[in-house]
Amino acid sequence: MKGTPVGDSASPLMHRRRLRNELRTARQDKGLTQDQVATAMEWSLSKMNRIEKAKTGISANDLKALLPLYGITDQERTGELLALARAARQTPWWRGYSDVAPSTLLELIDYENAASAISQVEPMFVPGILQTEEYTLTVLRAAYGEESPAERVPALVDLRTRRRDLLTSESAPRFAFVLDEAVVRRLVGSPAIMSRQLRHLVSLADLPNVSIRVVAFAAGLHPGMRGQFKVIEFDDEPDEDVVFLEGPRGDFISDDPAETRSYLEMFGRVTQLALEPADSVGLLRGAAGEMTLSGKCPATGHDLPVRRLLARSSCLGYTAPLWNPGCAPGPNRPSPAQPDRRSRGPAGPRSRHTAGRGASGRLRATVPRLAQEQCVRYPGVRGGSRRRRLSPCPRFRPPRRRRAPVPPRRLVRLPGPGPHP
């Protein structure tokens, strides 16, 4: 017991568990049973069970009366136990959100702050403790809608934002997250919000106590697709581990040892199917780049996912994250509303313009080019060429290959008498 820190950073549940361990050890050393202690203290047996299971705290007066029964009379040790009892009855900061947050969520935060290891599988969304503020706001608005009070969603966003401090706290537990690739690919809010969220995951993966792995689509079906779950482990009492389950009928925390072990085994099976941490970070970084490049066609407003980068470009000077050479005007590029001698029919001007070309007419190789895919509203024509199917919208025509000029034919006079017929 000596040397056990009692600080404000530890949760009240952690203090209760420490005090519980000390009291139970002292009772067993004295050779007393729970019934005998409850009878001597004039307590009910259920109160004794709650104290030794850390479900509730013990007042300072009850502790002062209990310690002589356990043979603890040393003033220094008595003071340390009393300090633990007072710290265990403090109100943590997250209890201030009891008017907007569910009681199960607040209980979960209690367990998280007292845990030694947390293992979570998430098939749908980014885990709450890893979410950025704007990602959290988008998810909560979609979950609660406009029916909830105006102050509820901002308060829940603030609560989830403060939860992230546990990742870098002095007593931070070991975190192991396994995400389905659908979490990475699903667009939440906007491409910019999703890109920043994925980059935030990449930065958190560098923490020594955080592991983030992704189950790729190529792995197929896996047990984690049944639903989200979180196993919270404690070093002092492995049999008291709990599992947090989230479902449409509400959240549920189970302390059944058999159920907790089954979910921990399920977590191990899902982890075997996931990518290695380094490969997972690479997937997250690549997905964040794709989200950064995705956007809308400037002329039509249709979705244009960008999936490839080419080495050359025939367009310069456009600073938007998405460049569609066939839709938006640029340097040496007429507006689609203006006629052009190179236009052909209603499709508008061709994309073979002179911007980015040198004196010889060749493209400059130092300018990157974004090869756009077609707009969602205009799928490719069945049976058409691949170059045509990759057109972003009807106004865009991919540049044709430049053929070498054919020298003009020369007339050769054959020798002979008289004119040729």
Closest by CA to 371, choosing from 310, 322, 330, is 310
Greater confidence, 96 or 417?
96
Strand 210-215 to 174-180 pairing: parallel
Higher-confidence position of 405 and 72? 72
Q: Is 384 or 223 the better-scoring residue by pLDDT?
A: 223
Q: Which of 143-157, 181-195, 250-264, 399-413 has the lowest mean pLDDT?
A: 399-413
What is residue 419's predicted lDDT score, i.e. its pLDDT? 55
Q: Is the model's pLDDT at 65 over the cut of 70?
A: yes
pLDDT for 320 equals 33
**pLDDT confidence of 179, banded at 50, 70, 90?**
very high
Query: Rg for the chain (alpha carbons), in Å?
Result: 34
| DSSP-based three-state secondary structure for 69 | helix
What pLDDT does residue 143 have?
A: 85
Residue pair 234/246 in contact by the 8 Å Cβ criterion: no
pLDDT tens per residue, range 285-335: 999 988 876 554 444 555 444 433 322 222 323 233 333 334 434 444 444
> Looking at residue 346, what DSSP letter applies?
G
Provide the total of helices (H) and of strands (E) in the chain, helices listed first.
13, 10
pTM over 0.75: no
- Tracing tokens 């001597």 back to the chain, one arrives at 40
Lowest mean pLDDT among 148-152, 211-215, 287-291, 391-395: 391-395
Distance linking the first and last C-alpha atoms of the chain: 122
Report how far residue 100's alpha carbon sits from residue 384's, in angstroms, rounded to the nearest whole number: 57
Per-residue pLDDT, 8:
46
40-49, 77-86, 112-121, 306-315, range with the lowest pLDDT: 306-315
Sign of the CA dihedral running 48, 52, 53, 58: positive
3-class SS of residue 1? coil
Q: Which residues are CB-neighbours of 356 under 8 A, at least 6 positions away?
A: 313, 314, 315, 316, 363, 364, 367
| pLDDT of 167 | 95
pLDDT of residue 413: 67
Helix (H, G, I), strand (E, B) or coil at 373: coil
Contact 364, 314 (CB under 8 A): no
Triad 137, 138, 144: Cα angle to 5°: 85
- Among candidate residues 231, 223, 227, the one with its CA nearest the CA of residue 255: 231
**Is the CA virtual torsion 341, 347, 348, 350 positive or negative?**
negative
Q: Where in the chain is the domain with CATH 1.10.260.40?
A: 12-88
| Pairs from 318-322 (Cβ < 8 Å, separation ≥ 24) | 320/295, 321/292, 321/293, 321/295, 322/293, 322/294, 322/295, 322/296, 322/297, 322/298, 322/370, 322/372
Please tell me the distance from the alpha carbon of residue 241 to that of residue 243, in angstroms, as a whole number. 7
| pLDDT in the model for residue 10 | 67
> Would the pLDDT of 133 be above 90?
yes
Q: Superfamily for 12-88?
A: lambda repressor-like DNA-binding domains (1.10.260.40)
H helix runs in 249-276, sequence order: 257-273
Average pLDDT over residues 24-50: 92
Cβ atoms of residues 123 and 180 within 8 Å: yes
State the span(s) of the chain assigned CATH 3.30.870: 93-291
**Structure-block tokens of residue 385:** 């060429």
Element (H, E) at 247: strand 242-247
Q: What is the mean pLDDT of residues 54-74?
A: 91
Q: Give the pLDDT score at 291.
A: 80
pLDDT for 39 equals 92
Side chain identity at residue 20, one-letter code = R
* Residue 268 in this model has a pLDDT that exceeds 50: yes
Residue whose C-alpha is closest to residue 91's, from 6, 198, 31, 8: 8
pLDDT of residue 398: 56
CA 1 and chain centroid, separation: 39
pLDDT per position as a tens digit, 331-374? 444 444 444 444 444 444 444 444 444 444 443 333 333 333 33
The tokens 């456009």 sit on which residue?
A: 318
Residue percentage of the chain with pLDDT more than 70: 69
Q: Could you tell me what percent of the chain has a pLDDT over 90?
A: 51
Give the model confidence (pLDDT) of 218-250 as tens digits: 999 999 998 999 999 998 777 789 999 987 777
Cα 35 from chain centroid (whole Å): 49
d(CA 137, CA 135): 5
Can you list the positions of beta strands (E) in 323-421?
Answer: 369-372
Topology of 93-291 in CATH?
A: Endonuclease; Chain A (3.30.870)
SS3 for 43-64 is: CCHHHHHHHHCCCCCCCHHHHH
361 — phi, psi (to 5°)? 90, -5
